[in-house]
Structure 1
Amino acid sequence: MLEALGKGLLIGFMFGIPVGAVGALTIQRSLKEGFAAGVITGLGSSLADCVYAFVGMFGLSLITDFLTAWQREIRFGGCLVILVLGWRMGRKSEALEMTATSASPSRRSGFLSAFLIGITNPAAILTFLFAFSYFGLGAVTSGAEAGLVVIGIGCGTLTWWCVLAALASGLRKQMNEEKYWLVNQVLAALLLILGVVIGISALY
């Protein structure tokens, strides 16, 4: 049981490390509103990861077949989400909101945006299936063990988002409006580039 949980944690942490679109959002939210906002954003991505890990771990072939058949359309949806987020981030010259609350609309939108980015990446399920095979989790037959793997993956990815949010929010005191605007533009450009790359990759 503990071994399954531990492997899930490791897979989740490794899966979360590449700083893509959700990483850019987490950094931006952490700089703008603080640690909690960054973690809430990452939580959206972790939930999406758990959905795909659940599908892969429990062998839900019907869902897997659907995602594979509609992979191009789903990825195009993710491409549009990322492009819109990049455009919105780049056009705003907003100041740091040092007094934002956890119930603010921007935090809810951060969570939803990250979830949409994660859930519109059907290729994630193939990555999880490869990881399950590599770590010898394909032989897991117990539903409880499979559930622990999924929980571990969620906790593992969330741990990474907490680390990233902590690092980014730690830089808030060094930020003024000019520096924040510059970082915002860089992150927006990253999102736009990623959106274009995902759109092109969906074609092929």
Structure 2
Amino acid sequence: MLTIFFYALVFGFVFCLSPGAVLAETLRRGLLHGFTPALLVQIGSLVGDATWAVIGLTGMALLIQHEAVRVPLTAVCALYLAWLGLRSLQDAWQLPRPDSAPPSTGRNALMVGAAISLANPKNIVYWGALGSALSGIVGATPSHGQTLVFFAGFMLASILSCFLIAGLVNVLRKNASATWQRVSHGACGLVLIYLALLAAYSL
């Protein structure tokens, strides 16, 4: 069980720290409003991660791969990422004032993180692969207990990554010049639009 838990921790950190839409939006929100909104984007993404984890580890990923489900989900993901990318480019063009955050910023950050994660169909492939990897680790079909340990290890790594990433972004915000923030917003915008185009191309 300890081996399964260790592998789950490694997979969790790799998944959460890899570049992608959630990380880009975390950086954008963190540069604008600080630690809490960045953390909330990350926590919101855990909702999607947990959902896809259950789907992947229980074998339901095969159902989600049907065209009738995959195509509209991918289309929604592409449009949403493109919208976030354009907003980030707008922030690069004209930096918002850090103290201009509306009262609902925290709630919006939480919802954005969840929406990005839930709308990303690539998580299906990732968790389907992890389900196979777990079978390879145990050398047989994993039991319910082994699957639960794997899920717990992955979610622990995800929660720790939330605080780590938000903390690093907050440090960058406090020490970043206006020019650096413009470059960061622009880079995040381009990454988000690129991911949107990749999603659209997969259709």
TM-score for the superposition, normalised by structure 1: 0.82
Quote the residue 1:167 is aligned against: 168
Q: Is the 8 A contact 2:40 2:113 kept in 1?
A: no
Q: Is the 8 A contact 2:11 2:154 kept in 1?
A: yes
SS where residue 98 of structure 2 aligns?
A: coil
**Runs of 4+ that moved beyond 6 A:** none
Structure 2 distance, partners of 1:74, 1:28, is 24
Quote the residue 2:55 is aligned against: 55
1:65–1:77 distance in 2 versus 1, CA, 3 Å: same
Deviation at residue 11 of structure 1 after TM alignment: 1.7
Structure 1 distance, partners of 2:90, 2:196, is 16
Quote the residue 1:192 is aligned against: 193
Structure 1 distance, partners of 2:159, 2:196, is 23
TM-score for the superposition, normalised by structure 2: 0.82
SS where residue 170 of structure 1 aligns?
A: helix
Deviation at residue 58 of structure 1 after TM alignment: 2.3
**What residue ranges of structure 2 are gaps of 5+ in the alignment?**
none
1:61-86 Cα distance to aligned partner (Å, 9 max, x none):
3x641443321221111011111111
Quote the residue 2:72 is aligned against: 73
1:117 aligns with 2:116: yes
Structure 1 distance, partners of 2:180, 2:10, is 35
Please state which structure has a larger fraction of its residues in helix.
2
Q: Is the 8 A contact 2:76 2:119 kept in 1?
A: yes
Deviation at residue 174 of structure 1 after TM alignment: 2.0
Q: Is the 8 A contact 1:41 1:114 kept in 2?
A: yes
Deviation at residue 2 of structure 1 after TM alignment: 4.2
Structure 2 distance, partners of 1:181, 1:169, is 16
SS where residue 194 of structure 1 aligns?
A: helix
Deviation at residue 12 of structure 1 after TM alignment: 1.4
Identity of aligned residues (%): 21
Structure 1 distance, partners of 2:151, 2:177, is 40
1:154 aligns with 2:152: no
